[in-house]
Structures are given as C-alpha cells and as structure tokens.
Chain A
Amino acid sequence: MAESLYYRTAAELSRALESKELSSEEIVRSVIERTRAVDDKVSAFISFDEGDALERARASDRRRAEGKALGPLDGIPVGIKDVLAVEGQPLTCASRMLGKFVSPYDATAIARLKAAGAVPWGRLNMDEFAMGSSTENSSVKTTSNPWNTDCIPGGSSGGSAACVAAGEAPISLGSDTGGSIRQPAALCGVVGMKPTYGLVSRYGLVAFASSLDQIGPFAHTVEDAAILLQAVAGHDDRDSSSYRTDIPDYRKELSSRKGPWKLGIPKEYFGEGLDPEVARAIEAAIDFYRGEGCEIVDVSLPHTEHAVGVYYIIATAEASSNLARYDGVRYSHRSAEATDAIDLYFKSRAEGFGPEVKRRVILGTYVLSSGYYDAYYLKAQKVRTLIRRDFLQAYEKVDALLTPTTPSPAFRKGEKTDDPLQMYLSDIFTISANLAGIPGISIPCGFSESGLPIGLQILGQPFQEADLFAIARRFEQAHDYHTRHPSL
C-alpha cells in the first residue's frame, strides 16, 4: 500500500493512525515525497517547509503515544492556499506586493487546525490576491491541471484543488469569493465547498471582497470535506462578520440525514453556452437523485443573468478599498525609485501589482468614483437583493438546487488570458452563491470524452451545510468518480 498512501482519504489516514498502522511522520513523508515527485509537473506549490511539517508530525505522534490525540485531524497534513496567515511562514498571495512577507500570526482557521493537531502543509498557488479563474494571474507560476497539464486547474484556489487531485495533500483549504473553491474543485475532479457567508472566520485571510469572501475545504470525499469544515467553522470574536450559530456534528449528520430531498433545477443554469458533455453529466446526476426518491422541481432564479455584472461591480469596489492598504509603507513591497510619499504609493503599487489586480482596482475605483456610485455600486447592491431573493423564494419550495459547477471542463492555458470578460464568464454558475451568501459544494460527477473531470454543484440553504454534505454523499456513495486519479 505504500505507493498509494498519498491517495488515502483523511478519514482513512485517521483510522490508520488510531490503529497504529501508520504514524503521522510516515504520512507526512509520503506527501512530501509525492510533492517532490510530481510538483514539477503540477506546480501546485509556491513553497513548502518540510522541516516544519515533519516537526509537527512527530509532535502529533508523541501526543498519540501518550494517549492525548486531539481528534480526527491530528497528524493529518492540510494544504494551505497562500492567502491564509500561518505564523512564521511566507504569505505572498502569489503577488510581488507580498513577495517578502512572513506572517506574524496565525489566521483563526489555521489556529483551529493546529489546535486539532493538523499539519499545515505548504503554500499553495493561486491567482494573485485570489483574482482569477485559472491561476494564470499568479505572479509566481501557473498551476497545471493534473488530468491534463496543458489545461488550467481553475482558480483562484487552483493550487489547493490540484494538490489534492495530484496526491500532494489529502485535504486542503482555499477561499471562495466568486467560485474560487467550487470551480477549481470541479475542474480538478475533487470535492470543494464554500460555506455560508459568516460560518468560517476570515481573521488572517487576506481580504479581497469582504462581503463575499469565505474559507472552505477541498477533499477527495464529502466526509473529508465535512471533517475539515468542522475543524475551522464557528464564531470568532476577531471577525465581526462571523455568525453566532450552532455548528452540528457534520460527520454524524452524514449518516442521520437520509432524505429524500426536494431538489430544484434552476432553468437559467441550463441554457446557451453549457457544454453538451457537462449537460449530460448533470442530467444523469439529476436522474440519479430522482431514482433515489427525491422530488425534482423546476425552479427559476430570474436574475441569474445579472450575477456576473453585479459581481464585477461589488467585488472590484470592495477590492479597490481593501487593496488600498498596499501602500508601500508598512509591510508590502516598497519601490526603490520613489521621490516623495505620494510617489511612493504610485510606484510601489505599479511595481507590486500584476495586470489583473491593476485592472480590478481601476474598475473598482471607477464604479465608486463621484458621479458613478449610484449608477454602478448602488444599483449593483440593489440587484444583489433581487438575486438573493430569488434563492430564498426557491428555498421555500426546495431543500437545495442542482446545477453544473462550470459551463465547460477545464480550458487550455492561454485560452482566455487576453480576454478578461470571457475569463469572468467562466464563473457564471458559482458567483450567485457568494452574492446571496448561501453555501455550495462541487462534487465530481463525470468525465468528458477527453478525460477531464466534470463537477456537480449543489447549492443549499443558509447554514444548512449538513444537508449539502448528506445530499452530496448520497451521489458519491453510488458512483466511483471520486476514487479515480490522474496519471502523473
């Protein structure tokens, strides 16, 4: 079994640790070896710290030997998107702006992982400041899709998705502002979940668009995603937008919530532009749920067509404000060419930000500028109300919605880099969930003829993650897509 250790799920590894079949050090070593063997091809990692990971693994083994194991994640490596602060580790957001930054503290999600005994593993590649859908906006490198290295892995959390698909970590954390967890999960053939807005504290997550950002898990299985979410979810005094709500035992609920569920099919997600292979896979998934006794209901989310427009006003406006902090003064890149304080801002930002970040900061500044605020920003906030209302009305009739995660399987590198609008439209099915604040999960539901994964998106009611997991797991248990791995 040694050769496939790195493809075991976190739940399997956890059982192997409990039964003393394996040590955490053996697990972490297998992941390090796998990363060394394949990351030249996959490029999921910006950097990794083997010494730190092994030290934490040995500490976990000592705890276990003393009978003080901390729970199902104790000793399990977790890949970390390079947007979350891990004390003493670099945090670059794949940007030259933070090229030399070392985190002085732990993000709350990381502190909770450490408290659960998990081993933070590496700094995973992403689009710069999480702005993008392919990792091609990383200033460091482009990650490859493990299923076809000529294709993109999706983004912005492309490294987090690719590292799990490639066996470089059993589970990982990413962030999702407009689909940045679900879209790469779909394109890399793994499970990815964006929780309800406010479920996971964003303290220590580099801010992109604060009314949309959420942290969430990547995994091979729904159970692993549930275990990882369990460890990081819950109110935090350090994030005033984190919600006070009871967190159920997701793993337990997986077996107790049996359905059948009422599932809605929003017609707006099945129109023009949907790849026929994706459409077929989603229809097969819908048929599966019907066969399981679920009632399938046609629903309408009439404002769906406006989601991308609303998103690119709200997200860029918030980004232009959030990224004002990168001024070259306190902790980010500082230009050596500046002549005075104002010039320091201009030159540091010109040198530190890549093209997509500049584009979005410019757009966000424009839509907030005097004379345009009402026409763009205020209007977008009102249409956001209508988009959210669409979902809440649908949820009066159904428990959850089934949709494709993406309009097509992974596209080729370079295909959309010169056309930002086309790149933005690749998030068309994931963006609405962020605007409405609802949770969504993507699970593998098939492959294209050329062997690229296809994702099924299940959108749920606010704070009903346990339902989403249970619905997703029903499909997973009857199919083997999640057990297939790319050949690297």
Chain B
Amino acid sequence: MAHDGIDIDYVANLARIALTDEEKERFSGQLGQVLEYIEKLDTVDVSGVEPTAHAFPLENVWRDDKAEPAMPVEVALKNAPAARQNMIVVPKVVE
C-alpha cells in the first residue's frame, strides 16, 4: 500500500470540509507521517483471514412492526439552526 501522499483537495472534497491552504499543507504533512506508520501493516500476512467488523458476531434484531410514540416534532426541531412551519429551512436545492 505504498502511499504517494494524500491528494488533500480530492479527499477534502469527498469529506465536504473547506480547508485553508495552511490546513492543507499541515494536514498533508501530518497525515503523511501517520500513513507511513500505518504502512507497517504491509508486513502482516492476512491470507485466509476473515475481516472483523464487530468484536462479537451480531445477529439481525427483529421487532414487531407496530407504531410507538416518537419524539414530538417541536422537540426534534429545537436544535434546528432554522425552522418554519414544522420544517427545517435550508438553502434552495432545485431551481
């Protein structure tokens, strides 16, 4: 997995974070060091090893499909940055 450095513009775009030029430079350097350290994993033989997503095998949890009381709309909207008529206000997304 020899890394050739993070393409910071590409990844920041995927992550939807606007970075300053100073941040781009600093993070590239710091994350380069971290990735170099992580490269040690190249030395581990994982042939035939199953990946672990959770420490314990989890089974699907089923429940009856019945309606139960949920948080009232006005409570759910209390932390909304902008709300009107029981809805969250956002910038226009379609012309």
A386 touches which one: B44, B53, B82 (CB < 8 A)?
B44
Interface residues of B in 80-95 (CB under 8 A from A): 80-82, 88, 90-93
Answer yes or no: A308 CB below 8 A from chain B CBs. Answer: yes
Given contacts A105-B71, A359-B31, contact A309 B38 (CB under 8 A): yes
Given contacts A105-B71, A308-B37, contact A384 B15 (CB under 8 A): no
A102 engages B93 (CB within 8 Å): no
Fill in one digit per residue for A221-241: 1 if any B CB lies within 8 Å of its CB, else 0: 000000000000000010011
Answer yes or no: A112 CB below 8 A from chain B CBs. Answer: no
Answer yes or no: B67 CB below 8 A from chain A CBs. Answer: no
A358 engages B17 (CB within 8 Å): yes
Q: How far apart are the CA atoms of A237 and B61 in the complex, in Å?
A: 9
B41 engages A100 (CB within 8 Å): no
Q: Which of A29-37, A59-67, A349-357 contacts the other chain?
A: A349-357
Q: Which residues of B contact A339 (CB under 8 A)?
A: 91
B80 engages A358 (CB within 8 Å): no
Q: Which of A162-170, A265-273, A329-337 contacts the other chain?
A: A329-337
B92 touches which one: A100, A101, A340, A350 (CB < 8 A)?
A340
Q: How far apart are the CA atoms of A382 and B10 in the complex, in Å?
A: 27
A303 touches which one: B15, B44, B50, B54 (CB < 8 A)?
B44
Q: What residue of chain A has the Cβ atom nearest to residue B78's Cβ?
A: A104
Q: How far is the CB of A275 from chain B (nearest CB, A)?
A: 21
Q: How far is the CB of B26 from chain A (nearest CB, A)?
A: 8
Q: How far apart are the CA atoms of A104 and B74 in the complex, in Å?
A: 10
B71 engages A363 (CB within 8 Å): no
A362 touches which one: B12, B40, B82 (CB < 8 A)?
B12
Q: Which residues of A contact B34 (CB under 8 A)?
A: 312, 363, 420-421, 424
Q: Which residues of A contact B33 (CB under 8 A)?
A: 420-421
Q: How far apart are the CA atoms of A376 and B44 in the complex, in Å?
A: 12
A382 engages B46 (CB within 8 Å): yes
Given contacts A241-B54, A312-B38, A386-B49, contact A104 B71 (CB under 8 A): yes
Answer yes or no: B66 CB below 8 A from chain A CBs. Answer: no
Q: How far apart are the CA atoms of A363 and B92 in the complex, in Å?
A: 31
A341 engages B90 (CB within 8 Å): yes
Answer yes or no: A338 CB below 8 A from chain B CBs. Answer: yes
Given contacts A340-B91, A362-B31, contact A383 B44 (CB under 8 A): yes
A198 engages B79 (CB within 8 Å): no
A102 engages B6 (CB within 8 Å): no
Q: Which residues of A contact B18 (CB under 8 A)?
A: 346-347, 349-350
Given contacts A362-B17, A366-B11, contact A388 B75 (CB under 8 A): no
Q: How far is the CB of B36 from chain A (nearest CB, A)?
A: 9
Q: How far apart are the CA atoms of A334 and B79 in the complex, in Å?
A: 11
By DSSP majority rule, is chain B's interface helix, strand, loop, or mixed? loop
Fill in one digit per residue for A7-48: 1 if any B CB lies within 8 Å of its CB, else 0: 000000000000000000000000000000000000000000
Q: How large is the interface on A (under 10, 10 to 19, 20 to 34, 35 or more residues)?
A: 35 or more
B93 touches which one: A237, A332, A341, A372 (CB < 8 A)?
A341
Answer yes or no: A197 CB below 8 A from chain B CBs. Answer: yes
Answer yes or no: A477 CB below 8 A from chain B CBs. Answer: no
Q: Which of B18, B30, B55, B75 has the most CB of A within 10 A?
A: B55
Q: What residue of chain B has the Cβ atom nearest to residue A324's Cβ?
A: B16
Answer yes or no: A385 CB below 8 A from chain B CBs. Answer: yes
Interface residues of A in 307-344 (CB under 8 A from B): 308-310, 312-313, 320, 324, 327-334, 338-344
Q: What residue of chain B has the Cβ atom nearest to residue A438's Cβ?
A: B55
Given contacts A334-B82, A379-B1, A379-B46, contact A346 B16 (CB under 8 A): yes
Q: What residue of chain B has the Cβ atom nearest to residue A368's Cβ?
A: B14
Interface residues of B in 1-52 (CB under 8 A from A): 1, 6, 8, 10-12, 14-19, 23, 27, 30-31, 33-34, 37-38, 40-41, 44, 46, 49-52
A309 engages B78 (CB within 8 Å): no
